[in-house]
């Protein structure tokens, strides 16, 4: 039977952490350990964890950061402190369904499976349901939310390279990848990923989330329908280009430092990310250049490299071909207005 640890990163979570801890104790398949790293909270989060630990049906280890690390580094530290073969990320303010671990652990009987993720149900601060959250992922740069992920501890071998990572969703601040981006990226390269189409976590939205979800406004939804292939494309593909380049560089380094068959997989994936970087660069030109000949040249380059192949095959997809030919080449620069800040995710 596969052992599992829960890695919970906490910071000022007193309002909701008791309910989350109860849901962990109510799991039909209990974990071997719960590792909580408190990120220099100003409230009594740590005291609440200590009270829970006194009666918990599994081992609880609490660590306190003397200085605040931020949620990215705090989750990475929590994962590194776990001892079990499988690690499940856990937010402090959600609620796990009782069957979460029981449903997610069987796929790990296959040694090729490195990560399992599932769907979620978003809820409000009062616990009332808001909307289901399905995670249909097609592109290599996609990832599942950390609160839905379980992964093999063997992926921690790549952690020395995390400092080289780049979050393409937050390029302005040059942030490292978030924990969920990082481990999903690694699992996609070195093994296989399993998706369970069940909502196994109630994902709480309360205005204080470090990284949250919200349904789009009616105006935003209308803009998405009107310009689904153009909205903010130049800036989006510039960020994706930088993110793919960073991933290729990380994989080249991992090819030198890992053992077994992982170096070969890392080297092969590095080549794919470099090719993806070039596709993103060409599409950035197509929607960012004021020159019609330059935009046409970018389009020809994408055609020549079969850049419009399926997204699952590391391409842009056939819908992108239609958008680029009909709108991007003739008027991409004028149509690709920067994405409003409130629409970014």
The residues with which 149 forms a beta bridge, in sequence order, are 117
| pLDDT confidence band for 344 (50 / 70 / 90) | very low
Mean pLDDT of 203-214: 63
Where is mean pLDDT largest: 17-26, 197-206, 209-218, 280-289? 17-26
| Residue carrying the six token digits 């605040």 | 68
Mean pLDDT of 66-85: 98
pLDDT reading at 231 higher than 70: no
Query: What is the pLDDT at residue 55?
Result: 98
| Residue carrying the six token digits 């599994």 | 58
Mean pLDDT of 96-122: 98
| Contact of 118 with 136, CB cutoff 8 Å | no
Nearest to 167 by CA among 66, 244, 85: 244
Query: What is the pLDDT at residue 118?
Result: 97
| Contact of 214 with 125, CB cutoff 8 Å | no
Share of the chain above pLDDT 90, in %: 79
pLDDT reading at 1 higher than 90: no
Burial of 256 (0-12, 13-18, 19+ CB in 10 A): exposed
Query: What is the pLDDT at residue 345?
Result: 44
Burial of 327 (0-12, 13-18, 19+ CB in 10 A): middle
Convert the pLDDT of each residue in 263-313 to its tens digit: 999 999 999 999 999 999 999 999 999 999 999 999 999 999 999 999 989
Query: What is the pLDDT at residue 44?
Result: 97
Round the average pLDDT of the chain to a whole number and report it.
Answer: 91
Output the CA torsion sign for 121, 122, 123, 128. Answer: negative
Convert the pLDDT of each residue in 181-205 to its tens digit: 999 999 999 999 999 999 999 999 9
The residues with which 118 forms a beta bridge, in sequence order, are 196
Instruction: For 42-128, list the strands marked E by DSSP.
Output: 59-64, 86-90, 95-96, 113-123
> Which contacts (CB < 8 Å, 24+ apart) does range 53-58 have?
56/21, 56/25, 57/25, 57/30, 58/25, 58/30, 58/31, 58/32, 58/33, 58/34
pLDDT reading at 224 higher than 80: no
Share of the chain above pLDDT 70, in %: 89
Mean pLDDT of 57-70: 98
Mean pLDDT of 329-333: 87
Query: What is the pLDDT at residue 208?
Result: 54
Query: What is the pLDDT at residue 342?
Result: 45
pLDDT reading at 218 higher than 70: no
Question: Which token pair is 344?
Answer: 């970014």
Measured in residues, the chain has a length of 345
Nearest to 345 by CA among 226, 168, 152: 168
pLDDT reading at 250 higher than 50: yes
Convert the pLDDT of each residue in 116-172 to its tens digit: 999 999 999 888 989 999 987 878 999 999 999 999 999 999 999 999 999 998 877
């Amino acid at each position: 039977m596969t052992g599992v640890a829960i890695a919970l990163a906490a910071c000022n979570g007193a309002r909701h952490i008791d309910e989350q801890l109860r849901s962990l104790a109510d799991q039909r398949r209990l974990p071997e350990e719960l590792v909580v790293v408190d990120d220099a909270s100003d409230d009594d989060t740590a005291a609440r964890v200590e009270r829970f630990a006194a009666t918990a049906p599994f081992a609880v280890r609490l660590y306190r950061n003397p200085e605040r690390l931020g949620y990215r580094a705090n989750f990475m530290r929590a994962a590194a402190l776990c001892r079990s073969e499988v690690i499940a990320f856990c937010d402090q303010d959600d609620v796990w369904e009782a069957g979460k671990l029981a449903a997610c652990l069987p796929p790990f009987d296959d040694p090729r499976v490195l990560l399992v993720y599932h769907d979620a149900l978003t809820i409000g601060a009062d616990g009332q349901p808001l909307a289901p959250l399905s995670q249909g992922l097609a592109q290599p740069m996609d990832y599942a939310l950390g609160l839905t992920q379980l992964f093999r501890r063997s992926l921690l071998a790549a952690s020395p390279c995390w400092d080289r990572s780049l979050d393409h969703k937050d390029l302005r601040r040059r942030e490292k990848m978030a924990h969920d981006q990082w481990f999903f990226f690694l699992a996609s390269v070195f093994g296989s990923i399993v998706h369970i189409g069940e909502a196994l976590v109630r994902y709480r939205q309360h205005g204080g989330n470090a990284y949250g979800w919200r349904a789009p406004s009616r105006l935003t939804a209308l803009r998405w329908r009107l310009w689904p292939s153009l909205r903010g494309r130049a800036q989006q593909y510039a960020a994706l280009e930088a993110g793919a380049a960073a991933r290729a560089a990380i994989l080249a380094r991992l090819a030198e430092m890992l053992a077994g068959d992982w170096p070969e997989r890392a080297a092969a994936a590095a080549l794919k990310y470099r090719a993806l970087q070039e596709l993103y660069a060409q599409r950035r030109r197509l929607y960012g250049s004021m020159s019609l000949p330059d935009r046409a040249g970018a389009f020809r380059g994408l055609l020549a490299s079969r850049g419009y192949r399926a997204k699952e095959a590391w391409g842009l997809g056939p819908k992108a071909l239609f958008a680029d030919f009909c709108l991007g080449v003739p008027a991409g620069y004028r149509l690709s207005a920067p994405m409003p800040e409130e629409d970014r995710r």
